[in-house]
Structure 1
Amino acid sequence: MASSSVVFQGFTVLPLKIEEKSTCHHYLYVKEHNIRDARDCKPKERTLFVLNVPPYCEEGHFREMFERYGTIQRIFFHSKPTSGPPTVNSSTFFPTAPVIQGYMVAYIVFKKVSSVKAITSLPYDKPLVMHKEGGQSIDTGLNKWIREYKEDVVDTAALQTEIDKYMTEYDEKIQTEIEKAKAAEGVPDEEGWVTVTKYGKNKGAPRTEAHEKALTRKEKKRRKDKELLNFYSFQMRETKREQIANLRKKFEEDKNRIALMKASRKFRPY
């Protein structure tokens, strides 16, 4: 009796063993990648969408498991489903793409449509084997620790080379922007507007007599406003002083009145 595949919510369940002698299974969930906004990097019908990919599973393992069903053109790994390509690091020492940690999703692009159809029809009772004798090994244990330790040791010469290259390209970019701005300075566009930049040739026209008079008027007005502000401040101080003097005078009057009331008080036992 021929075994059949198991499908759960549109995904074909594929058991996976790390080695041939392994008794425990991991499970991959695969289906045809077919969405409306499919990009050129992940064409419809020829792309296999894989869920629950373990972090120790690499591109070489996928090729060993699935290349028997057809030619694999590209393999993409993501932290979550997406239609676009993964972000590529533009620097070795200053990564710009986030590091995928934990379980992943994968997209396997085949050359033919029949390859995806064959994988989504695989039987459930014949698990895939990730690591076979002579194939790509699984980086775990001490070997993984040694590799991560070596990756943490920075090659200072290569780092300095990358920094020098970046600074050279940056200086060239800034110089190009300066030259472009100088060339555009004073040249009107189609609507007659003239672009003014900080790199322009015209550093400012000399002041005219009218300009000097305007500056003099502004300075006089500023001084006058300052004098008026000081006058109001003096007036406020005088008002506060008068209020304090009146309070002190009233306090003395009240104190004298209380003293007179105490002196005129008489003791009357009956």
Structure 2
Amino acid sequence: MKKAATIEVAGYTTLPLQLPPTSIYPTPATHYLYIRPHEPRIPDPDSTRSLFIVNTPIDTTEVHLRHLFSTQLSAGRVERITFEDVPVKKPGLATATEPNLSHRANKKRKRITADDLQSTLDEITPPSTWDRALHKSGAHAIVVFADKPSMESSLKAAAKAARKNTNLIWGDGIPLDRIPPLGVQRYISHERRRYPERSALLRSVNDFMTVFEQVSEARKKEESKKAGVPDEDGFVTVVNGPKLNSVAREEEMRELVERQKKKEEGLEDFYRFQSREKRKERQQLLLRRFDEDRRKLADIKMRRGKIRPE
């Protein structure tokens, strides 16, 4: 009796793939993908509908994995794919340009810190000189599906294909124009992309300089706010730079006074002598008002005395 092939290793479903022969290596080879549900240490909203794939081929692209799950396995719909060695671009922060100022007018403005701008600055890079990324051996990827049922059906389809020993040829059926070619054409394209168009390069440089200036301004504002404000230990940070003008100084002093008032809230009658002083202040205020009223009455009587009836 023939022994069934092992389709699961350490919790991973093993999916064999046939790498197509090439002119350099005409012998077909078998490559194994290891698939399991994505279970990160810190769960995110997409982890329940994601698959974690280990040992992806070095020429893997998003098109390859989409074609594998949607066409070759006829399973769930893929939403996006994240590779281990390919940085993911986060949604950038809008810069303070004229078009988006009107868009912000009707919305509550969110406070953007210098660290937020710095992260946006780090993501701005010049145009890439490669049209296709190659991965290291044994790299992993995270495939996010449209929903959890799509993920579960894809995992079941992979296990079924492994159990039935289905012949899955890597990249079979993908149109040639959807994937940049490898070999000599890859390096010809690389040589051409080393000299990008002036408009693309200028756009990248302008974006970098715009965000860089915003980072510098945000850093200066944060440092100016720290100047003259004691920290938790009572020390004052001394910064090097031009002194603030009178308007900025007044605003800073107003903020300090308001901050001090907030600290003193609820502590007005904390000590007994404070209560005594408040009573004395109220008594003096009443005496002053009494003296003022008495003077006003005396003035009125004097004015009435000068008026003589006819």
Greater share of helix: 2
Distance in 2 (alpha carbons) for counterparts of 1:70 and 1:29: 17
* Matching residue's letter, 2:7: V
5+ residue gaps, structure 1, are 80-84, 203-270
* Matching residue's letter, 1:6: T
Distance in 2 (alpha carbons) for counterparts of 1:19 and 1:57: 13
Structure 1 residues 137 and 127, CA, compared in 2 at 3 Å: closer, same or farther?
farther
Is the contact between residue 17 and residue 23 of structure 1 (CA under 8 Å) also seen in structure 2?
no
Matched position secondary structure for 2:79: strand
* Matching residue's letter, 2:124: S
Structure 1 residues 187 and 48, CA, compared in 2 at 3 Å: closer, same or farther?
closer
Which residue does 1:17 correspond to in 2? Answer: 18
Which residue does 1:26 correspond to in 2? Answer: 30
Is the contact between residue 13 and residue 28 of structure 1 (CA under 8 Å) also seen in structure 2?
yes
| Residue 50 (str. 1) matches residue 47 (str. 2) | no
Deviations, residues 17-37 of structure 1 (Å, cap 9, x unaligned):
345998613322223135461
- Please report how far the alpha carbon of residue 60 of structure 1 lies from its aligned counterpart in structure 2 after TM superposition: 0.5
- Runs of 4+ off more than 6 Å: 20-23, 189-192
- Please report how far the alpha carbon of residue 92 of structure 1 lies from its aligned counterpart in structure 2 after TM superposition: 3.4
- Please report how far the alpha carbon of residue 64 of structure 1 lies from its aligned counterpart in structure 2 after TM superposition: 0.9
Matched position secondary structure for 1:75: strand
Which residue does 2:156 correspond to in 1? Answer: 117
Distance in 1 (alpha carbons) for counterparts of 2:40 and 2:64: 29
Is the contact between residue 16 and residue 128 of structure 1 (CA under 8 Å) also seen in structure 2?
yes
- Please report how far the alpha carbon of residue 115 of structure 1 lies from its aligned counterpart in structure 2 after TM superposition: 2.4
Is the contact between residue 84 and residue 141 of structure 2 (CA under 8 Å) also seen in structure 1?
yes
Equivalent residues in 2 for 1:67-82, closer than 5 Å: 67=70, 68-79=74-85
5+ residue gaps, structure 2, are 90-121, 245-310
Is the contact between residue 15 and residue 158 of structure 2 (CA under 8 Å) also seen in structure 1?
no
Larger CA Rg, structure 1 vs 2: 1
Is the contact between residue 81 and residue 144 of structure 2 (CA under 8 Å) also seen in structure 1?
yes
Q: TM-score, normalised by structure 2?
A: 0.49
Is the contact between residue 14 and residue 127 of structure 1 (CA under 8 Å) also seen in structure 2?
no
Percent of pairs with identical residues:
24
Structure 1 residues 69 and 153, CA, compared in 2 at 3 Å: closer, same or farther?
same
Matched position secondary structure for 1:26: strand
CA RMSD of the aligned region, Å? 3.8
Distance in 2 (alpha carbons) for counterparts of 1:57 and 1:47: 18
Structure 1 residues 196 and 160, CA, compared in 2 at 3 Å: closer, same or farther?
same
* Matching residue's letter, 1:119: A
* Matching residue's letter, 2:30: H
Matched position secondary structure for 1:116: helix
Which residue does 1:64 correspond to in 2? Answer: 67
